[in-house]
Amino acid sequence: MRFDIVTIFPEFFGSPPDQGILGHGVVSRALRTGLASAHTHDLRAFTHDRHRTVDDRPFGGGEGMVLKAQPIFECLESLNLTPKPTRDTTRETVILLSAQGKRFTQATARRLATLDRVVLICGRYEGVDERVSQLLCDEELSIGDYVLSGGELGAAVILDAVVRLLPGVLGHADSSKFESFGEGDRPEDTMTAAGVPRSTHGSGGLLDYPHYTRPAEFLGVPIPEPLGNGDHLAIRRWRHQAALAKTLANRPDLLAAADISDEDREFLATLGYQPPA
């Protein structure tokens, strides 16, 4: 899988796979093993004035500066992409990182992980000339409901979230399936062939449950009793309820769409949860 990152700060990403944010963790592993490649493109290299100007004042007035369309068009032209009207978005896509974009989710990451090529355009300043989105991009994405100084951090987030889903990148094939926002929600995903619960299970729209490792007691705090008794059914029940409690505490908004039973609702009620009317 190939990533192309268009930015005015290529040094932010370093020289993959040895430097910068691309030189660490699972992303570096994917780049080193050839499961993915990442290429940065300096937008200033596609300017034609002495000052290498990439921005200009907005029409209509207002605060701030806007990234110009011309350098971005020339940069993408150099990448030999299929023009937008005939682009096969099941194979390649061009994304603008923008505070006005759709929210990036795990479902989006899974979709992008099926493609051969993803181009990420890092917005900057007050915004990007709208004709870039209209004529070049397949979608605009935002990593959250806040504003950053530029799209570089967003591009890094998307790159990491997508790369870790590529087959062979993580140590275990199911590591990305059985976690918060994972897709392992089907019965065949949560149970082994022998009917024994997996050590982890599908999230069902909930956050992941808490995890513990040795020692069994640390600074006077022991692990929850069910985790140490070897009763797989009790472990699975505890983990499910712990996931419900974690979701209620940190992301109660997820509960409205989560796959929860009447028993789950009764348990949540004991924690003070009141479903929206």
Across residues 138-149, what is the average pLDDT?
Answer: 96
Predicted TM-score of the model (pTM): 0.85
| Residue 119 near residue 81 (C-beta atoms within 8 A) | yes
Kindly state whether residues 142 and 26 are assigned to the same domain: yes
Please state whether 119 falls in left (phi above 0), alpha (psi between -120 and 50) or beta.
Answer: beta
pLDDT above 70 (res 18): no
Across residues 223-231, what is the average pLDDT?
Answer: 95
CATH of the domain at 242: 1.10.1270.20
Kindly state whether residues 97 and 205 are assigned to the same domain: no
Kindly state whether residues 191 and 158 are assigned to the same domain: no
Kindly state whether residues 139 and 194 are assigned to the same domain: no
* CA gap 123, 66 in Å, rounded: 9
Predicted confidence at residue 150, as pLDDT, reads 96
Question: Which of 258, 211, 260 shows the shortest CA–CA distance to 239?
Answer: 211
Can you say how many angstroms the Cα of residue 68 is from the centroid of all Cα atoms in its chain?
27
Residue 181 inside a domain? The answer is: no
- Residue 199 lies in domain: 187-270
pLDDT above 50 (res 162): yes
Kindly state whether residues 93 and 228 are assigned to the same domain: no
Which one of 123, 147, 163 terminates a domain? 163
pLDDT above 50 (res 242): yes
Q: How many residues are present in the chain? A: 277
Sequence-ordered list of residues with C-beta below 8 angstroms from that of 70, at least 6 positions apart, any chain: 46
Predicted confidence at residue 175, as pLDDT, reads 54
Which of these ranges, 13-17, 33-37, 79-83, has the smallest mean pLDDT? 13-17
User: How many domains are contained in the chain?
Assistant: 2
Residue 276 inside a domain? The answer is: no
Residue 168 inside a domain? The answer is: no
Across residues 95-120, what is the average pLDDT?
Answer: 97
Kindly state whether residues 80 and 159 are assigned to the same domain: yes
Which of these ranges, 98-107, 142-151, 176-185, 254-263, has the smallest mean pLDDT? 176-185
